Structure 1
């Protein structure tokens, strides 16, 4: 009988290849298994082929699409700006809104319709009126040129023209003075608490002090005009007003038979006219004349700082007194 070859490499039997006649059977081996080693040499393990050196480290056969998505997001086309004609209505709307806010709370333009304030203001001048400071409690002061609403009965004889639709819109946003509102413009001569008077050819006196009005009264006009008045005590919260053209101004002098004895309530005052804005060659500021700054004309104001100083000093003196008393008496 022939001999049987037993495979002992893995501890299991391996299938044998049928032998031919006169040849012993040989075991069948896979190509991935070790090949028989030559006598005196060690067996070598078959290694996988090295990767292509041209591939960068960490490269895989799977495609990374994140970079492409980021690039695609960055390459989105920017939105085209709107055409100017599409933006124009928005710009006009914003401009009109700002003009309305400015006219309501800050500054408003008024047109001079008469000659009552010559030569300071001429017919057709445009003045800017400060409407902001009254919101913070500012009151009309002597010498200021102010715009105020008709207290009632001052403009009864003056016809009011009917404005067209365009004028209504422009006056509403403050680009034109309102024709429907009956407003007047005069100079403040006396304020609440003052006594004002004028007799004969003048001068006008406030709290017994004569005013030097040559810098603003119309040349040739007398301080009283043709209407002497006073002495009149101006109630608190009211003002006495007169036009600079004393012979052509229906001011407080001519309305002493009405409520307030010719004075105007501070609540009727729109604001102070501080500059002539139009026409350009008439541009000028409207300051308070120096005659209203003379000593003694404002008795109430002269006493006010002393009273306020005393009121402020009393708490400080009391606090200091308590502190000194406390340090002398140990607890």
Structure 2
């Protein structure tokens, strides 16, 4: 029988411990990779670049956007508040804001809120027709008026939910396939689809007021900062009553 190994003598080669700086570097790399994966596939942080979504979202608010809802065949629905890439000269010069090189890197990996995008509410999806406005100042989608007092700014005082560019009487749509008609909740201060409509009497417009679905980054689900205003965003119930567009519209 072989003698028991001496407790004072190692039975095999002892594993060499990495230096502390190497372990820290490995942990940092893993954390960055996880952050990139989370940002790319699940959740990304942004900040509100303007007053266009007041009163619910105020300039410089920090928001979280989830991407899972639009995986596979999922697409934005009426009432969703979405973040999307500029479809073509919608952002004003300098709207991306100034940031340091470190800030840009942190934004790229998802560890800092980023700008350079737009945040609007989806009013119409493919096939929808939007009409402004009825005798109560309400937008109508596919003939159904929207009750928007719960989220539009100055709901009790504005004449219509238009906005009035150049008047409170216009029609948009049918929305092309693969596109969205979007508006800010602060209707008088939002560079949105209604501002880019080429209507009689307007000169500052584009030929395409619609946002490609492919430009959408994700759906806003949480107002994350400031701490005293943390809130979850949900789709307003008024959009549940909107009928589907008529066949051939």
TM-score (norm 1): 0.64
- The alpha-carbon distance between structure 1 residues 159 and 212, as it changes in their structure 2 partners (threshold 3 A), is closer
Cα-Cα RMSD: 2.6
d(CA) in 2 for partners of 1:255 and 1:94?
Answer: 44
Partner of 1:278: 225
| Residue deviations 1:232-255 (CA, integer Å, cap 9, x gap) | 311111111010011111111111
Which residue of the partner structure matches residue 194 of structure 2?
A: 253
Partner of 1:214: 149
CA deviations 1:236-279 (Å, max 9, x no partner) are: 1111101001111111111124243x111111111111111112
1:141-220 matches, cutoff 5 A: 141-179=77-115, 182-199=116-133, 202-219=137-154, 220=157
| Aligned residue in 1 for 2:54 | 118
2:59 counterpart of 1:139: no
Residue by residue over 1:18-61, the C-alpha shift from the partner in whole angstroms, topping out at 9 and shown as x without a partner, is xxxxxxxxxxxxxxxxxxxxxxxxxxxxxxxxxxxxxxxxxxxx
Relative contact order, CA 8 A, sep 6+: which one is greater?
A: 2
Q: 1:114 to 1:194 in 2, by over 3 A?
A: same
Aligned-pair CA distance for 1:138: 1.0
Report matched runs for 1:303-314 at 5 Å: none
DSSP-derived class of the 1:274 partner? strand
By percentage of residues, which structure has more helix? Answer: 1
Shift of 1:224: 1.2
TM-score (ref. length: structure 2): 0.83
Rg larger in structure: 1
Matched position secondary structure for 2:71? helix
Cα distance change, pair 209–169 in 1 and its aligned pair in 2 (3 A): same
Note the residue ranges of structure 2 that are not aligned, 5 or more in a row.
Answer: 199-205
1:254-311 alpha-carbon deviations (Å, 9 max, x no partner): 1124243x111111111111111112211111100010112xx22259x9xxxxxxxx
Distance 1:89 1:118 in 2: 43
Match of 1:233, SS state, is coil
* Farther-moved stretch of structure 1 (122-131 vs 84-93): 84-93
Q: Distance in 1 between matches of 2:95 and 2:57?
A: 22
What is the CA distance between 1:68 and its match in structure 2?
4.2
The answer (yes or no) to whether the contact 2:45–2:112 under 8 Å persists in 1 is yes
Q: Give the gaps of 5 or more residues in structure 1.
A: 1-63, 304-331
Question: Matched residues in 2 for 1:162 and 1:231: separation?
Answer: 35
1:230-245 → structure 2 map (5 Å cutoff): 230-245=171-186
